[in-house]
Amino acid sequence: MSKLFSKKGIKEKKKDKKCGKVDKTMEVYFDISPDQIPIIYSPNYNIRFLGLQKLHPFDSEKWDKVFNLLIGAGIITKNTSVEPVEAKDEVLQVVHPESYLNKLKWSAYVARVTEVPFLFALPNALVQQRVLRPFRYQTGGTILAGKLAMERGWAINIGGGFHHCSKDDGGGFCAYADITLCIRYLFNNYPSVEKVLIVDLDAHQGNGHERDFLLENRVYIVDAYNREIYPQDEYAKGAIKKKVELDDSVEDAEYLVRSIRSVNEAIEEFGPQFMFYNAGTDILKGDPLGGLQITAQAIIDRDELIFKAARRNKIPIVFVTSGGYQKCTAKIIADSIVNLKNKELLD
Ligand SMILES: [Zn+2]
């Protein structure tokens, strides 16, 4: 148990003292039992309908596959893993204005955000239920991961990492700003957390959290991304303290040296009390969107080096899976988590 926070403080916040009403924004922030492991997943994460999983270039069942591979590897069981709750409007509104949540009531807007054009022709109730609800569960998982990492030193959400969504605009398959939400919850509930380091190693620039934290000096962002691909958001780049701009010829060794060096320098310069690691796997060779040539082994090495940096410096760390939806991706994510366990980085 971390000395950094008072558990009592959080419990008190759950009730409004005047009228005894439960604070609904705290529903996502529940306690887990000592025998549970802070690996977070819900069957509600997965998007399965109308053959979408076949039409979309993404393996939209990767979350379920990672979970089952981790059970197969003996890392978790259905009882020891943690099932999050859906992030409902009260929770989302901690960051998102109502005007943004209203935009998601238009199927045409959701079609643009998710890059699945045919959603535009569907009734919004169906889009909410089958597409946005899984994202809301994943968002609930990311917010909870912040709390569990404070208590256990680390937490993994087998989903989330919607780094293209800012508080008032979605894009690139990202409808909710789960990273911003996780960090806002930390600032609101843990006075000891004054400085948060975001390490975004997905192949794409994380313009959503960057736009949200552009003027926030409590957040330091390291972002390594392919400079040639979406979103090329120059305005959002103003929030990045350490940019690692990659081109498609970058090889494993150079990728690892440049990314990890930036993270170690950031820890030294900034002295964060929390790390948020967006561990996208779309840097993998063959990814149709990422455009990079990194091997599976280098992804496993990367995750290990990031965890070592956090754990060595006693910085609580959240890991989310973010982009990367090739058929082989789930196995790489699971292998990487097994490697973290084997290297005693999940103790
Ligand atoms: Zn990506």
Q: Which of the four pLDDT bands, split at 50, 70 and 90, describes residue 4? A: very low
Burial pattern 185-194, b for ≥16 Cβ within 10 A else e, equals bbbebbeebe
The whole model's pTM is what? 0.94
Distance 210 CA to ligand 1 centre (A): 15
Active site residues: 164
- Rounded to whole angstroms, what are the CA distances from 14 to 9, 46, 91, 131, 210? 9, 29, 13, 29, 30
- CA 25 to each of CA 10, 129, 210, 332: distance values in angstroms, whole numbers, following the listed order: 12, 21, 24, 34
CA of 322 to the centre of ligand 1 (A): 7
pLDDT band at 9 (very low <50, low <70, confident <90, very high): very low
Average pLDDT, integer, range 96-111: 96
Cα 168 to middle of ligand 1, angstroms: 20
**pLDDT (average), residues 252-262:** 98
Residue 275: name the closest of 305, 314, 225, 242 by CA. 314
Of 127, 112, 198, which is closest to residue 163 (Cα–Cα)?
198
CB within 8 Å of 228: residues ≥ 6 apart: 247, 248, 291
DSSP H stretches of helix in the chain = 7-14, 52-55, 62-72, 89-92, 98-103, 107-114, 124-127, 133-152, 178-189, 207-212, 234-237, 252-270, 296-312, 329-342
Question: What span, in angstroms and rounded, lies between the C-alpha atoms of 62 and 80?
Answer: 20
- The first and second tokens of residue 296, run together, are 């599976």
Each residue's pLDDT tens digit, 141-182: 999 999 999 999 999 999 999 999 999 999 999 999 999 999
Question: Could you say which DSSP state residue 22 is in?
Answer: B
Q: Which two tokens stand for residue 23?
A: 């604070």
Across residues 36-50, what is the average pLDDT?
A: 90
The answer, yes or no, to whether residue 87 has pLDDT greater than 70, is: yes
Q: Name the DSSP letter for residue 131.
A: I
Q: How far apart are the C-alpha atoms of 131 and 114, rounded to whole Å?
A: 9
Amino acid 167: pLDDT = 98
Cα–Cα distance, 326 to 134 (Å, whole number): 19
Residue-wise pLDDT tens digits, 200-240:
999 999 999 999 999 999 999 999 999 999 999 999 999 99
Q: What is the mean pLDDT of the chain?
A: 92
Q: How many residues does the chain have?
A: 347
Check pLDDT > 80 for residue 12.
no
What does the alpha-carbon distance between residue 252 and residue 249 come to, in Å, rounded to a whole number? 10
Query: Whole-angstrom Cα distance, residue 37 to residue 192?
Result: 24
Q: How many angstroms is it from 283 CA to the middle of ligand 1?
A: 8
**Cα 14 to averaged position of ligand 1 atoms, centre (Å):** 35
What pLDDT, on a 0 to 100 scale, did the predictor assign at position 55?
58
The confidence band for 2, taking pLDDT boundaries of 50, 70 and 90, is: very low
- Condensed to tens digits (0 to 9), the pLDDT of residues 181-192 reads 999 999 999 999
Q: Across the strands, what pairs with 15? A: 22
d(CA 46, CA 138): 9
